[in-house]
Structure 1
Amino acid sequence: MAWISAVWGRAQTRILVWVTVLVTTAVVGSTLTTRQLLRFQLDQRISSALEQEISEIKRLIDGRNPLTGQPFDGDVKAIFKVFLSRNIPDNDEVFITLINGEQHATSPAPLPIPTDQQAQIVTQWQGLNQRQQGQLHLGQDTWVYLAYPLPTEGPDHGVFVVMQSLTNQQRDLNRLVWLEAQVFGISTLVALVLVWVATGRILAPLHDLTQTARSMTATDDQLQRRIPVRGTVEIAELTETFNAMLARLQASFASQRNFLNDASHELQTPITIIQGHLELLSQHPEDQAEAVVLMQDELQRMSRLVKDLLLLATAERRDFLALTIVPVDQFLQAIYSKVGVMAARQWTLAQAPAVQIVADRDRLTQAMMNLIQNAIDHTQPNDTIELGAKLVKHQIHFWVRDTGVGINPVDQSHIFQRFARGTGARERSEGSGLGLSIVQAIAEAHGGQIRLSSTSLQGSCFILILPLEPPQDRPAVPVYSH
């Protein structure tokens, strides 16, 4: 049973099964439809043939006797004699003439009708005074007939009957349909073999894709492999997508390795400082108070670093944001009321639009505070820091602009990376280098972005761009890159 499951699980087998079902349905449907159409045409052809013979007998009634050159004048016997001499019935066709209720002459003679049933069928036509069409079941055969009483005024009453065998013609029709079904069946088998071969060739790149993915490990040399792009448009697109995924995985593994290296370095420094002071305490007990203060400061820095790392780790979760309606002008006024005690700067507040956005107020506050702290680190007491917001095409642009030393163009390319610090930051800054990374994570969690405009020695402007409403399926926060 395992091999059956394995074969059935293959896309090639499923495609072949579906094609078989569809083609078989189409063949059966077309065969039945063809049979019905042929049967309809057969009925029409038989009716036309019967009417044609009746038309011939009518022309004789209104015409002249070729033997005498005179009108028939109701001479039923002469009419039947001339008709039977001039008209030869087709295969499976019979002419019967009745005069005064008795069988007069037939063509062919003898009739292809059982003798014991001839009297029975003659009886139902002998007193006919109007045309009649119907079917007769004689033995195993079915006949279609048209009986026509001659409208003559002579002493004799004549009835002309033309019959055609429906059974024989149906047998020929069924034979034709069966031959057609056999041709369709053979064609279908050939087509299915070709479908199996063609799908195998079309799906071959998928097999290569599977084998390549199965053979890969999380090592750098494996992740550098790429699959050649070939096959149909869809499979080529899938291969390109897979190669792009490998590139992202390669970058992800590299960024994780760099992130772990940098994080371990950042954590190793305060640990080393604490260990060193603990060793000094045993040698210089008189320095205990100063050592405790230093160790507490390092522990607090480690605590802040761990909290920032945890925040960045949870930024990729869907429950990272607690969305609510935030009035932009009130929010910015609340931020402005807090910054005055953070540092002695020339604080200004630009006019904010009276609109509302759907956002996480706490995360948004955290992002703005990080931008403000970054501005403080790059300015002096006489510098100006401006807060503002404006509505631009269904987006809110929050900005923090300063007149400080600016950010070196070399630093701007990696300023949002984790643990990155600008060369212009003041040495006394206690930041971990994660502040701007947190701002970027919060912005992208809202479906927005963060932009930087800075000129060395002329200040910087960070613009936090958010949509009025975050997308339903927000994109994942990019992994750390170094």
Structure 2
Amino acid sequence: MRLRTFLTLGAVLLAVLGLVSAGGLFWMTTLLQRQTTSLIDAAERVRAAAELEITLLLLQYAHEVEGIGPRDIGPPVGVDALVREVPERLAHVELYTETEAERGLVAASRASVEAYLNAPEPDRRLRLAQAVDATRAVMDSSIARARAARDEATAVRRTGRFIGTLLAVSVLAGMVLFLAIAQTRIYRPLVAIRRALSAFKSGRRESRVARAGPPELQEIGAEFNDMAETVASQDARQLQFLAGVAHDLRTPLNALKLSAQMLLRARTAPPPEKVRESLVRISNQVDRLERMVGDLLDRTRIEAGNLELRLEECDLRGLVEEVVELHRPSSEQHRLEYSVPDSPVPWRCDSTRLAQVLTNLVSNAIKYSPKGGVVSLRLESSEREVSVSVTDEGVGIPPGDLDTLFEPFKRSGSAAKDIPGVGLGLSVSRRIARAHGGDIEVESAVGAGSTFRLHLPR
């Protein structure tokens, strides 16, 4: 599950629990309010029925005595005053009547009261007794309703407590579940990434991040692992580069040292031919050192964006011929050939830099053909571009090295261990070609030689 989906689901879950809690609270509040109103109505209904019953009982008692004296329940009350209160008490009872059964009881009570009020004197006591009985039935019904309302309120409170407890437990369980999943799926992978970064920063280059957590964190871990592999590869290449530089510097320096010692240790002046051979050897080694330093400086300038081109019109035929003639004396095992068009091939370029590119390509063709053979250059011109191809009969390049061949400090194949070089020539050459708007491509097969083709658009 992706991190965004997990967080969205967590937010939705908490929102749903919140809405359910709010809905449950609203429902319980409404229900409790309804039950409270029902209890109040029941109490009022009981009070109204009780007042009606008391009034009728007072009437019943008043018929037995002329009035109600102070020794009884209060100031004297006449029958006429009590009779006037009966309709008011009855109307009060009817006000709180809800069910059909209650309405029937109240109607019977009213009929009995009216029968009492309209009865002749001899029958009034009997009618009054009937009215008291009917009112007592209303009273009993009201008390039963009040008890039912009380029981319903008690049940509602119990239900409310249960639902509240259930919601609280659900919210707590949801939060615990969310935090537990977040702890396992998010926090721990983040801590692992942080530890890997800290370890890598402290110098433990083998530190890597295990694939864990949501895809986003896995992608971050994979990016870190790729970065760590790249850094480790760069470190290895830099060490290889330093070893190559040391090896390549030691070879010409040893040659220079031997040539100088030979001249210094001679007790007599060496023959001019020996002196000339030593000076030529010294000059060649100095040129080799100069090329190495030049490649390093060019790479530094390219990385800093300070590579300057001095463009001028030149005939590329002469440039190809010059490079071929420069390398003819460098190896007796190789035969250098070139093919150029009969007509001039003018092109605006930095001739020094372009000669550097061709020199690197020809030098590599010679170095990676340890058994000798033909190294051929071919200059072709069309309306769209100019191309120069350099073909050798050397060891070739493994297919797996073609994609990284032009990277700095990258050298191809097992033969590279026995061939001098630091792996900057092709990288610098491609950068120079691209600075001219062109590029270099390669075709090769192991054991069948290689062809490097420089493309320059018109």
Give the shorter-chain TM-score range: 0.3 to 0.5
Q: TM-score, normalised by structure 2?
A: 0.46
Q: More strand per residue: 1 or 2? A: 1
